[in-house]
Amino acid sequence: MNRFNCINNSVLQGPGRTLWLFLFFIFVVGLNSCRKEEEINRTAIILKTGVAYTSSGEIVSPGGKINIGVLASGAGTALTYLRIERIIGQDTSVQLDRGIYAGNEGYDEDFSFPKGLAESEIWRVLVMNADRDTATASLLVRKGEGVDYGPIHHYGPIEVGMQNNASTTCFLDLANGAIYDAVTVSGNESAIDLVPYFYYTSGLPSPSLTCPGYTSTVGYYPIISNWTVKNTTLFDYYTSDNQLVTPSQFDAALNDSLLVTAYNPSKVSGNCKYAYAGRVIPFKTCQGKYGMIKVIQADENEEGSILLEIKIQQ
């Protein structure tokens, strides 16, 4: 035996010490096994009323706006989920499906959607808290006479630079068709809805459209990390990938009818890959404006640019 080995049988012998050691381990095991019973807090929701909001039973013409204001509370537990559905007879379509995180301050946000062609629509809002307790509120909207499709702005062609383009500006305000560079964007951050970038994904070159609110955008535009307002624009990548709207349909759009109907809310993302020339990408801005982008030309490198034509609700 090594002479430095510290085993000293005489020091700790005896059943008393053994019992203490045994009890200590039982204590450690027991301590780690304790669990608290779960409590569930109840979720509450109300839809805002007033002239700015659509009231239940109100008549709205097709294409007209349905304005829904949501006030919700998780009653001590964070609200984590919001869903807005349009129900026509037995058919339910999800218009908004969003993960949120609203703590004790509760949730307060307004939304607008276009009225469809159905005689009546039920708009149901569901919120859920982290205890997975849900609450819903609904309103009924009836179809009005005629149509109420609105006017649109048409901008373009607009050249927007990719992330490493030193000469072309990169920050685009879709509502006004205005474009800013890293200097002039100061003070206009809250107006920016789109920034482009280029990268390879799944082995394919991908000119991409994204928005300040999409988390990984700061990797391409670090300046955005300091912005206090980061708008999230949702691009309908499904319609783009499958080329469901043709450039000629885009060209023919004179009001927002196509803009609101082409947008499929179930297949949207703040990042739209494969924005190749000839593709038409429906989108919805953070302010609730529907629009479409036609890609005229897209470079496949980080120093290049992308040429866009835009139609958006006024």
Sheet strands (E) in the chain: 44-47, 58-60, 65-73, 79-88, 91-102, 107-114, 120-129, 134-143, 152-161, 171-173, 178-180, 195-201, 204-210, 234-236, 268-269, 271-272, 280-284, 290-298, 305-313
Q: Does 8 bind other proteins (CB under 8 A)?
A: yes
Q: Is 33 a binder of other proteins (CB under 8 A)?
A: yes
CA distance linking residue 78 with residue 8, whole number of Å: 57
25 vs 151 by CB, closer to other proteins: 25
Q: How far apart are alpha carbons 209 and 116 in whole angstroms? A: 28
Each residue 121-160 as x (binds other proteins by CB under 8 A) or -, in order, gives -----x-x-x-x-x--------------------------
Question: Does 213 contact other proteins by CB under 8 A?
Answer: yes
- 180: phi > 0 → left, psi -120 to 50 → alpha, else beta; which? beta
Cβ distance to other proteins smaller for residue 2 or 248 = 2
Give yes or no for a contact between 64 and 114, defined as CB atoms under 8 angstroms apart: yes
Stretch of residues binding other proteins (CB under 8 A), selected from 4-12, 44-52, 155-163, 167-175: 4-12
Q: Considering beta carbons, is residue 68 or 179 the nearer one to other proteins?
A: 68
Instruction: Give the separation between CA 28 and CA 216, rounded to whole angstroms.
Output: 44
Residue of 40, 46, 59, 94 interacting with other proteins (CB under 8 A): 94
Q: Which residues bind other proteins (CB under 8 A)?
A: 2, 4-9, 11-14, 17-18, 21-22, 24-26, 28-29, 32-33, 78, 80-81, 83, 94, 97-101, 126, 128, 130, 132, 134, 200-203, 213-220, 222, 225, 232, 234, 237-238, 241, 266-271, 273-274
